[in-house]
Amino acid sequence: MKIWLLTHSEELKKESGTGKLVKSALADQCHVIVWARKEPDPQILALDPLNTAIVYLKTPTSPRLEKDQVCDIQNIIILDGTWQQARKMYNQSPYLARFPHYEIQGENSVYTKRRNQKESGLCTAEVAIHLLKEANDPQAAALQQSFLTFNQ
């Protein structure tokens, strides 16, 4: 599984951002793309909706990605930013709507560096950890340890 962090430019300036942890722990398994409203990244545009999913707010029409399907997904797009930034990025990027959506439910964030804007909203690293665990990816443990150390 490859993780694509579609990152808001403001997120790159923050010491409290966890996208950097994900990239550091996963190296080539993670690709960071700075979101641009007027210029969609060609690599994101080239991803196949049949083997790509996006983690974002679930809508009533979104297909549900079940746990057993995670192993079949080759690309996961995570919107890396605050929930307000993620909403803006999603709403201003209509090409993202073609990917199946997945919202992680039933987990609470333990992230302490910033106040969460959404009840039960997970930070970028927590989303990546959850998905890697569901896919039985060996990198999940290393990323989780990095996150726990960072979050102290």
107 and 122 Cβ atoms separated by less than 8 Å: yes
Q: How far apart are CA 72 and CA 40, in angstroms?
A: 25
118 and 55 Cβ atoms separated by less than 8 Å: no
Residue 91 has pLDDT above 60, yes or no: yes
Residue 26 has pLDDT above 90, yes or no: yes
Lowest-confidence region among 43-47, 52-56, 133-137: 52-56
Domain boundaries, the chain: 2-151
- The overall average pLDDT reported for the chain is 87
Q: Which tens digit of pLDDT belongs to each residue from 124-144?
A: 999 999 999 988 999 999 999
Q: How far apart are CA 46 and CA 40, in angstroms?
A: 11
Query: What is the dihedral angle through the alpha carbons of 147, 102, 98, 18, rounded to the nearest 10 degrees?
Result: -10
Question: First vs last Cα of the chain: how many Å apart?
Answer: 28
